[in-house]
Structure 1
Amino acid sequence: MLFSVLKSLHLIFMVSWFAGLFYMVRLFIYSVEALDENEPKRTILYDQFLIMQKRLWWIITTPSMIITVFCGFSMIFLNIEYYSKTPWMHIKLAFVLCLIIYHFISQGIYFNLLQKKTTWTSMKLRIWNEVATLLLVSIIFVVVLKDSFSWIKGVTGFLAVTILLFSGIKLYKKYRSKS
């Protein structure tokens, strides 16, 4: 019963964590683009985006990360004998570590935007947003496929998703430059 509750909470807060990360980076894009506007629109938009970012980051995204990680490691602890021997869990944990690093790099971007200091363009942020998508797809496929995971199929799928995402970004950039 405890394992099932932990698993349910893990999934619920994982969804919240990813939603927060996706929307946060979207707000970063809006903030950077707001800096290109004339006054007073620039200040009004930028300040509003900062309020939204603060609430999203500290009320939803970071607490969701903490609860997701806590529930995940609690499940591992409850079944340490099994999970310590499963290669797919090691792969998943490597992706989760990448996701945690992504989270804290995003937090650094947030802190820089608070001071109106950023070297990130809206295009770089759009690409950064897709890194979370790649991590989500990777984690889900590793967990769902588990022991039937084939490295060749996994790498091929990862590359295919990467190519699709970055092709979409390029198409969007072309579309945006025309309008």
Structure 2
Amino acid sequence: MTTLLIYKSLHIFFMVAWFAGIFYLPRLFVYHAMTDNKESQEMLKTMERKLLYFITPFAVLTLVFGLLLIFEYGREWFKANTWLHYKLLLVITLYLYHAFCFKLLADFKHDRNKRSNKFYRIINELPVLVLLAIIFLAVMKPYS
């Protein structure tokens, strides 16, 4: 087994684990925005916080193993594979989304959410679309 395949396997594993949470967290925000029940709000605050802090190491490890893959493939490979440059732009978008979730978490924690459940339903779909584009780029490599 080569180092490259180990890095690739771990990159995919941590990405899947990260996305399991990044898909579910905004759904919790939807429920939180819909309820006025204080007990439910407190339970959702706990769930949101625990989930975001649980998946953040997966986001970091996804990045670490992705970068190790790039270094393993080498500089010339990186320069020649334009599809990867587009993928990385989308990945940066996902990390910004992840950071934005921390801001939303803080808003709910301090009871200052002003957004509707419809807003959270919409942002719940964004990482799905970005992931779809990333997968197409990684599999089809259209700009190689």
TM-score (norm 2): 0.94
Higher relative contact order (CA 8 A, sep 6+): 2
1:66-101 residue CA offsets vs partner (Å, 9 max, x unmatched): 000000011101112212221110010010011111
Q: Tell me what 1:63 maps to.
A: 57
Q: Give the number of the structure whose alpha-carbon radius of gyration is greater.
A: 1
1:33-88 residue CA offsets vs partner (Å, 9 max, x unmatched): 113xxxxxx111111111111111112x2111000000001110111221222111
Q: Tell me what 2:72 maps to.
A: 78
> What is the distance in 1 between the residues matched to 2:21 and 2:53?
10
Give the residue type in structure 2 aligned to 1:65. Answer: A
> What is the distance in 2 between the residues matched to 1:52 and 1:129?
16
| RMSD (Å) for aligned C-alpha atoms | 1.3
> What is the distance in 2 between the residues matched to 1:52 and 1:28?
10
- Runs of 4+ in structure 1 off by over 2 angstroms are none
Give the residue type in structure 2 aligned to 1:137. Answer: L
The alpha-carbon deviation at position 144 of structure 1 amounts to: 0.8
Give the residue type in structure 1 aligned to 2:108. Answer: L
**Kept in 1: contact 2:81–2:143 (CA 8 A):** no
> What is the distance in 1 between the residues matched to 2:3 and 2:103?
36
> What is the distance in 1 between the residues matched to 2:86 and 2:20?
22
> What is the distance in 1 between the residues matched to 2:141 and 2:13?
20
Give the residue type in structure 1 aligned to 2:101. Answer: S
2:101 match: secondary structure: helix
> For 1:91-102, what aligned pairs fall within 5 Å after superposition?
91-102=86-97
1:124-174 residue CA offsets vs partner (Å, 9 max, x unmatched): 11001111111111101111111378xxxxxxxxxxxxxxxxxxxxxxxxx
Q: Tell me what 2:129 maps to.
A: 134
Q: Tell me what 1:22 maps to.
A: 23
Structure 1 unaligned residues grouped into runs of 5+: 36-41, 150-179
Count of residues paired in the alignment: 142
1:147 match: secondary structure: coil
> What is the distance in 2 between the residues matched to 1:76 and 1:120?
39
Give the residue type in structure 2 aligned to 1:86. Answer: N
> What is the distance in 2 between the residues matched to 1:16 and 1:34?
28
Structure 2 unaligned residues grouped into runs of 5+: none
**Kept in 1: contact 2:4–2:72 (CA 8 A):** yes
